Amino acid sequence: MRFHTLILDFDSTLVQVESLELLAQISLATLPNRRERYQQIKALTEAAMEGKISFAEALEKRIQLLQAYAHHLPVLIDQLRQLYTPSLLRNLSQLLKPDWDVYVFSGGFIEFIVPVLHPLGFAPDRIFANRFVANAQGKIIGVEPSVPLAGDEGKVRLAQQLNLRAPILVVGDGYNDYELRKARIAQCFAAFVENVRRPPVVAVADWVVESFDHLMEGVQQCAEESQ
C-alpha cells in the first residue's frame, strides 16, 4: 500500500521521552514533594497512554501537579533538542519526502513542540498540539479547551476536521494513536516501540516498528508490492 498521509506522535516517538514528565523534572526541582508529584505525573501518563483512563482527565491532573511557569519552557525546549529519537535523525530525508503529507498530532503542547521540530524540517502548519493557558504571573494553569486534542479522542476529532489524503498511516506509542485506526480514519496503525513498549498498545497494532529504520523499510516494501 502506498500511503499518502503519515500522522506521527511526538512524545516517545519523535523524541525519546514524555515531554510533560521532563517538564516536571524542571518545574518541580526545588519543591520538597517533587518525587511524589513526579511519580503521580508518570503514573497518569502511563494510564492514559495505555487507555486505562481518559486522556482529558490525565492531562488536567498532570497540569495541576506540574507547578510549571512560562520561564521553564525554554529550558524544556533545549533539553528536548538533545533527545530526538536516534533513528528519526537517520531517516529525516526519507520521512519528510515530498510525495506524502506528514503531520504531527500530539497531546503535548505547541509552545515547545514547534520549536523542537521546526529546525528538523517539519512544517509548523502541519504540527497540531494543545496550547497552555497561563495566568498573569506566567503560571501554567490549564489547557486551551477549544483545541480538539485537549479532549478524549482528540486525535480522531482533529483528523475529522482536516482534509487528509487516504490511505493514512499513523505511527505512535499510545492508545490515543490507535484510536485513529479504531475510528477507521487511518488504514494502518504502527506501534512505535524504540523508546517505550506498551503491551496494550502493541496488542491492537497492525504493525509493530522497532525504529524509523524499520518503518521506512516497511513502507518502501509495501509501496513496491502495491505497484
Q: Is the distance from CB of 40 to CB of 28 less than 8 angstroms?
A: no
pLDDT the model gives residue 220:
80
Whole-angstrom distance, CA of residue 174 vs CA of residue 120: 23
Q: Is the distance from CB of 109 to CB of 15 less than 8 angstroms?
A: no
pLDDT the model gives residue 98:
81
What phi-psi label fits residue 47: left (phi over 0), alpha (psi between -120 and 50 degrees) or beta?
Answer: alpha
Residues with Cβ within 8 Å of residue 206, at least 6 apart in sequence: 181, 188, 189, 190
C-alpha dihedral, 180 to 185 to 189 to 195, nearest 10°: -40
> What Å distances lie between residue 144 and 18, 20, 44, 112, 132, CA to CA?
20, 16, 20, 15, 6
Bridging pattern class, strands 101-109 and 127-130:
parallel
The pTM of this model reads 0.94
Whole-angstrom distance, CA of residue 35 vs CA of residue 106: 26
Per-domain boundaries in the chain? 5-16+84-226
The H helix count followed by the E strand count for the chain is 11, 8
* CATH match for 5-16+84-226 among 3.40.50.720, 3.40.50.1820, 3.40.50.1000, 1.10.3210.10: 3.40.50.1000
Task: Give, for all 227 residues of the chain, the pLDDT tens digit.
Answer: 789 999 999 999 999 999 999 999 999 999 899 999 999 999 999 999 899 999 889 999 999 999 999 999 999 999 999 999 999 999 999 999 888 999 999 999 999 999 999 999 999 999 999 999 999 999 999 999 999 999 999 999 999 999 999 999 999 999 999 999 999 999 999 999 999 999 999 999 999 999 999 999 998 876 556 55
Name 84's bridge partners.
15
